[in-house]
């Protein structure tokens, strides 16, 4: 199976379930906490959406593997005894849903940089002059072009 390096990646089908069970074996969590914990464990390379987490929680609840209770306006998800048995059995096999994301050095945080760029772009759009907005549009167009050229030509020295 071909995987992209760095950036956001999709986990193979079924890994969301395994990740949720693995994390809940450590402590009860809310859905958002599960998404954040998966992102943290994968060093930001896998960030499941609410559309992946919440249906998985519902399915696990239907199967009797988790219980969901209201806690301060949120839904706290906890493993049931059956869920703990399944998580323990999975751990005994040595299966780790986060193993493919482990690497010796952390990935470059492109998402954080993109969020910063987005914030700066919005600020120019809100309060910049027409000339500043035109200059920002050129910078963004050049950046997009440079990124595609990077993929087409391979790694390059950023000081060229």
Across the 160 residues of the chain, what is the mean pLDDT of every consecutive 10-residue run?
A: 42 73 94 91 82 94 94 89 91 83 66 89 95 96 91 65
Q: With the C-alpha atoms ordered 135, 141, 147, 151, is the resulting torsion angle positive or negative? A: negative
Enclosing H/E stretch for 75: strand 74-79
In the chain, DSSP finds a helix count (H) and a strand count (E) of: 6, 3
pLDDT confidence of residue 109: 72
pLDDT confidence of residue 157: 58
Q: Which CATH class is domain 15-101?
A: mainly alpha
Residue ranges per structural domain of the chain: 15-101, 110-153
As given in the structure block, the two tokens for residue 120 are: 């700066």
Model pTM score:
0.59
């Amino acid at each position: 199976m071909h995987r992209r390096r760095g950036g956001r990646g999709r986990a193979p089908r079924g890994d969301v379930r395994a990740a949720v069970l693995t994390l809940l074996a450590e402590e009860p969590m809310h859905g958002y906490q599960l998404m954040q914990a998966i992102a943290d464990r994968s060093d930001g390379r896998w960030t499941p959406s609410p559309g992946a987490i919440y249906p998985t929680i519902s399915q696990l609840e239907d199967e009797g593997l988790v219980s969901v209770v209201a806690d301060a306006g949120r839904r706290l998800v906890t493993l049931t005894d059956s869920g703990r048995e399944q998580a323990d059995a999975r751990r005994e096999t040595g299966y780790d849903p986060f193993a493919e994301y482990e690497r010796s050095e952390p990935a470059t945080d492109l998402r954080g940089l993109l969020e910063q760029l987005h914030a700066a772009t919005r600020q120019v759009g809100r309060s910049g002059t027409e000339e500043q907005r035109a200059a920002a549009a050129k910078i963004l167009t050049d950046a997009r072009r440079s990124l595609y050229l990077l993929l087409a030509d391979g790694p390059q020295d950023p000081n060229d």
